[in-house]
Amino acid sequence: MKILVCDDEPGIRRTLSQILTDEGYEVETVGLGQEAEGRALAPDGGFDAVFLDVWLPDVDGLAVLDRLRATRPDLPVMMISGHGTVETAVQAVKRGADDFLEKPLSLERVLLTLEKALERRRLADERDALKRELATLQERGGAEEPLLGDGPAMTRLREEIRRAGDSEARVLITGESGVGKELVALALHRASPRAGGPFIEVNGAAIPEELIESELFGHVKGSFTGALDDRKGKWEQADGGTLFLDEIGDMSPRTQAKILRAIQDGKITPVGGARTIATDVRIVAATNRDLPAMIRAGTFREDLYFRLAVLPLRVPPLSERPEDVSVLATHFAGQLAKRRGRRPKTFTPAALEALSRRRWPGNVRELQNLVERLVLMTPSPAVDVADLPPETDGLDFRAADPEAVRPGQSLAEARDGFERRVVQKVLVETKGNVSRAAERLGLDRTTLHRRLRAWGLEGAKEERS
């Protein structure tokens, strides 16, 4: 991935460049705002994210942010400043910055902020792709079933959706990341008497805390800097239909309290407004978090939980329905072929059997990504077992190569050698990004760096690129 850094201090540029390069990113640095704007918007730029100083010698960094947002609304931008105030930070976020970093910069904060911004962008892209696909399905009259799978788990889930769809009761959808909770929410909407009304989504993990209240309830002109007109919120937009509160477990206690009040009263008040607006909305919420545990920890409201979980629905992970893997893999391959105008690539029975035995920690989303990779990279018309990449997530010792164990080698030495090979494979797959590799492997980033040093791999570009 390619990152642009704009700061008038050469030391900051060098530091950020070194930090990001060590993590496997390609970095370009500039010292002026006009240079940054020109490079970010150039056809050959291809930047995936920007670090932008607020105070620049030629232009105001916030003005550059405005122009980037107007032209590249999908580009993650992190503002940095050595003279930051709360007001400046809030202003930057309201004008579209993904985050605000104060100097002196913390290495961990820089990497965490970038990772979160890129993840939000990835999730938004996936959500948009799903919405386009679902819109196509709706145009066809819903002839295709988006919740694929013929096994007992999915058959039971579809029956629960059918029964819950007839009700006006609130629904809480739970399940791991990547299982398709948004598809379940849309299926509930389409099975309900509100199917002709709007289906509006709010993602609690993708919207900064400073903007979530305005996003939900709208605002009136002049209520804060940048509020140039009255704006209708998602809650009001969903009137007569379904409001899908995705990632409800990631919303702050303050936002939880506002949602609870809106549910109890059936009314909302826009930010900066004096009048209340009555709404007729069915609430469907979803989370991959353990809300009862969060309640015990004091980070989620118990009263809101019971308001939302009138009808609980659990979406089973892919590991609980291996019989559906072949159906999904074939479906995704067909989708990709249709988008590219090519004949669908098939899977041999042995390949489908091997895929069904995998653990799929990333669930349906992981399977979809792997199928796309296989369809694009496999030269033959059919994907076979030999074309499948090794399963490395979670240090699966079942995948170890017995021939890699030397005669007389101790168990500790064999295990250390296997771990080294797995780590190298994951670093290749993550293009040398140590933070992402550590997350994939279930390790702390510092622990992974320590192991790389012990193996003599830290800084070895040929093994990390």
HEC secondary structure over 2-49: EEEEECCCHHHHHHHHHHHHHCCCEEEEECCHHHHHHHHHCCCCCCCE
Which pLDDT belongs to residue 411? Answer: 60
> Residue 402 pLDDT > 50, yes or no?
no
Buried b (16+ CB within 10 A) or exposed e, 52-74: bbbbbeeeebbebbeebeeeeee
Which pLDDT belongs to residue 141? Answer: 40
Give the start-end residues of each E strand in 92-247: 99-102, 171-174, 199-203, 242-246
More confident position, 263 or 274: 263
**CB distance 325 to 366 below 8 Å:** no
**CB distance 438 to 447 below 8 Å:** yes
Considering the chain, what is the average pLDDT of its residues? Answer: 82
Which pLDDT belongs to residue 132? Answer: 58
Which pLDDT belongs to residue 170? Answer: 94
Which pLDDT belongs to residue 228? Answer: 66
Which pLDDT belongs to residue 394? Answer: 37
Which pLDDT belongs to residue 401? Answer: 44
Q: Which of 407, 442, 405 is nearest to 423 (CA)?
A: 442
What is 283-300 written as a DSSP string? EEEEESS-HHHHHHHTSS
pLDDT for 199-213, tens place per residue?
Answer: 999 888 777 777 778
Q: Which of 12, 50, 43, 8 is nearest to 28 (CA)?
A: 50
Check residue 83 and report its DSSP letter: S
**CB distance 133 to 336 below 8 Å:** no
> Tokens representing 461?
């570009």
Which pLDDT belongs to residue 413? Answer: 64
Q: What CATH number does the domain located at 145-316 have? A: 3.40.50.300
**CB distance 339 to 198 below 8 Å:** no
Q: Which of 41-50, 100-109, 113-122 has the lowest average pLDDT?
A: 41-50
Has domain 397-464 been given CATH number 1.10.20? Answer: no
> Residue 442 pLDDT > 80, yes or no?
no
Contacts of 196 (CB under 8 A, 6+ apart): none
More confident position, 260 or 412: 260
- Residue extents of the structural domains in the chain: 2-118, 145-316, 320-387, 397-464
Which pLDDT belongs to residue 32? Answer: 93
Which pLDDT belongs to residue 29? Answer: 94
Check residue 259 and report its DSSP letter: H
Which pLDDT belongs to residue 203? Answer: 87
**CB distance 80 to 7 below 8 Å:** yes
Class (C level, CATH) for 2-118: alpha beta
242 band by pLDDT with thresholds 50, 70 and 90: very high
Query: What sign has the CA pseudo-torsion 145, 147, 152, 158?
Result: negative
Determine phi and psi for 419, rounding to 5 degrees.
-60, -40
Q: Which of 127-136, 168-177, 242-251, 366-375 has the lowest average pLDDT?
A: 127-136
The CA distance from 192 to 300, in Å, is 29
The CA distance from 25 to 118, in Å, is 12
Which pLDDT belongs to residue 284? Answer: 96
Q: What CATH number does the domain located at 320-387 have? A: 1.10.8.60
Please tell me the pTM assigned to this model: 0.55
Q: Give Cα 304 to chain centroid, integer Å.
A: 24
Which pLDDT belongs to residue 206? Answer: 76
Which pLDDT belongs to residue 393? Answer: 41
pLDDT for 2-34, tens place per residue?
Answer: 899 999 899 999 999 998 998 888 999 999 999
pLDDT for 163-213, tens place per residue?
Answer: 998 888 999 999 998 888 999 999 999 999 998 899 999 888 777 777 778
> Residue 294 pLDDT > 70, yes or no?
yes
The CA distance from 259 to 251, in Å, is 10
Which pLDDT belongs to residue 406? Answer: 52
449 band by pLDDT with thresholds 50, 70 and 90: confident
What's the whole-number mean pLDDT along residues 270-286? 87
Q: pLDDT > 90: what percent of the chain?
A: 30
Q: Do domains 2-118 and 320-387 have the same CATH topology?
A: no
pLDDT for 117-144, tens place per residue?
Answer: 888 887 777 676 666 555 544 444 443 4
More confident position, 80 or 443: 80
